[in-house]
Amino acid sequence: MSREPDSFSPQRRAVVGGVALALAAGGAATVPAQETAAAGSDGLPPPAPLADPRALYRKPPFERRSRPWPGLAARMNPPPDHGEESYKGHGRLTGRKALIAGGGSGIGRAAAIAYAREGADVAISYLAAEEDDAQSTADWIRKAGRKAVLLPGDIRNESFCQRLVEDAVKGLGGLDILVNNAGRQKIAGSILDIRTEDFDWTLKTNIYAMFWITKAAVPHLPPGGIIINTSSFTAYDPPENLLDYAATKAAIANLSKCLAKQLAQKGIRVNAVAPGPYWTPLQVCGGQTMEKLESFGGDTPLGRPGQPAEIATVYVDLASTEASYVTGQVYGAAGGRGNP
């Protein structure tokens, strides 16, 4: 199938991306030191222009074309917007050290770019097959003037998860923020179609790895440390063909609330984010049927899928000291679906 024109030009991203970020988090778009906009008389950058959220990014239909697992953002059509040209930082995370599991592409990359532009050094984990995406993410982190630590490997292995945390702590010189974002999503029309090895793959990627990584990270997190887990709107409204995936996302929401109560005595906050339909590699490498991929996000009130850039500030807000009383919460951003 022929490639459609790229509707996400740098100029468009610069105008609409900042607005989308503000809408996703309920706040104003931010500006990094190296990309400061012309300030007004009050010394603040000018606000982003008001824009209709329905028209900020492309709507369905999308092409019916799958990609091999694990999928690469660089090969998606249209390419996702991770905030490469739009996210502006205010230094809200200056000096922080963050580990993002699943940070090579999708929401993880958007969070990594945002964290770097807010002043944090960032380590990312990813599969070896995602090296091209991970290198691109690292380039954006470095362009923001921050340190990037790349840690490839399979998080279904407990010993790797333990090494991942140790290597992140060593490479960053400490750890303040942990984002558990890695996930596996594979459609199956019936429970009879889910093989035990596939069920095990999903649970080890989505639940076991989060448990192992978090368990290894907690001793390194100081008071004020942050854990953010990626749940999903499917935890509240599970599609019939994502039985195992939706079950893990419900477990993540529940685990986050329980862990928040445990770690409050250590001064560590724990929250979860529940994205709706977002345009990421997860969708094009077995996460959707071709029919649903073509209409992806069209059934939301806003009529389109979200872009990773539009949820990045939720991860920033939850990691910032401004959210010091926010723990044990699940934050949704689902294009109007209302969950959670």
Structural domains of the chain, with CATH: 10-40+51-333 (3.40.50.720)
* Structural contact between residues 272 and 231, judged by C-beta atoms closer than 8 angstroms: yes
Tokens of 190: 């019936």
Distance between CA atoms of residues 151 and 286, nearest Å? 25
* Residues belonging to the active site: 245
- The count of residues in the chain is 340
Q: How confident is the model at residue 4 (pLDDT cuts 50, 70, 90)?
A: very low
Nearest CA-CA partner of 145 in 169, 124, 116: 116
Nearest one of 303, 333, 242 to 61, comparing CA atoms? 303
Predicted confidence at residue 263, as pLDDT, reads 98
Q: Does the structure show a pLDDT above 50 at 338?
A: yes
Q: Are 7 and 59 in contact (CB under 8 A)?
A: no
7 pLDDT more than 80? no
pLDDT, position 23: 35
Tell me what the mean pLDDT of segment 313-328 comes to. Answer: 98
Q: Which of 38-42, 62-66, 152-156, 219-223 has the lowest mean pLDDT?
A: 38-42
Q: What is the mean pLDDT of residues 58-68?
A: 84
What tens digit of pLDDT does each residue of 36-45 get? 344 555 666 6
d(CA 82, CA 157): 28
- Backbone φ and ψ for 122, nearest 5 degrees, come out as -135, 130
Judge whether residue 203 has pLDDT over 50: yes
Query: How much is the pLDDT for 41?
Result: 58
As a whole number, mean pLDDT of residues 101-116 equals 97
Whether the Cβ atoms of residue 165 and residue 174 lie closer than 8 Å to each other = no
* Of 108 and 1, the one with more pLDDT: 108
**pLDDT on residue 186:** 92
pLDDT of 247-286, one tens digit each?
A: 999 999 999 999 999 999 999 999 999 999 999 987 877 7
Model confidence at 72, pLDDT cuts 50, 70, 90, reads confident
Query: What is the distance between the alpha carbons of residues 23 and 184, in angstroms, rounded to a whole number?
Result: 27
The residue assigned the tokens 């195992």 is 244
At residue 261, the pLDDT reads 98
Q: Are 111 and 189 in contact (CB under 8 A)?
A: no
The CA distances from residue 306 to 106, 170, 262, 330, in Å, are: 11, 35, 33, 18
- Residue 58 and residue 160: Cα distance in Å, rounded? 38
Write the secondary structure of the chain as one string of H (helix), E (strand) and C (coil). CCCCCCCCCHHHHHHHHHHHHHHHHCCCCCCCHHHCCCCCCCCCCCCCCCCCHHHCCCCCCCCCCCCCCCCCHHHCCCCCCCCCCCCCCCCCCCCCEEEEECCCCHHHHHHHHHHHHCCCEEEEEECHHHHHHHHHHHHHHHHCCCCEEEEECCCCCHHHHHHHHHHHHHHHCCCCEEEECCCCCCCCCCHHHCCHHHHHHHHHHHHHHHHHHHHHHHHHCCCCCEEEEECCHHHCCCCCCCHHHHHHHHHHHHHHHHHHHHHHHHCCEEEEEEECCECCHHHHHHHCCHHHHHCCCCCCCCCCCECHHHCHHHHHHHHCHHHCCCCCCEEEECCCCCCC
Q: How many CA atoms lie within 13 A of 11 on its CB side?
A: 0
pTM (predicted TM-score): 0.86
Which two structure tokens, joined as six digits, stand for 159? 């010993």
Residue 206 has pLDDT above 70, yes or no: yes
Please say if the pLDDT value at position 336 is more than 90.
yes
The two structure tokens encoding residue 308 = 């990773």
Closest to 157 in 3D by CA, of 93, 204, 102, 217: 204
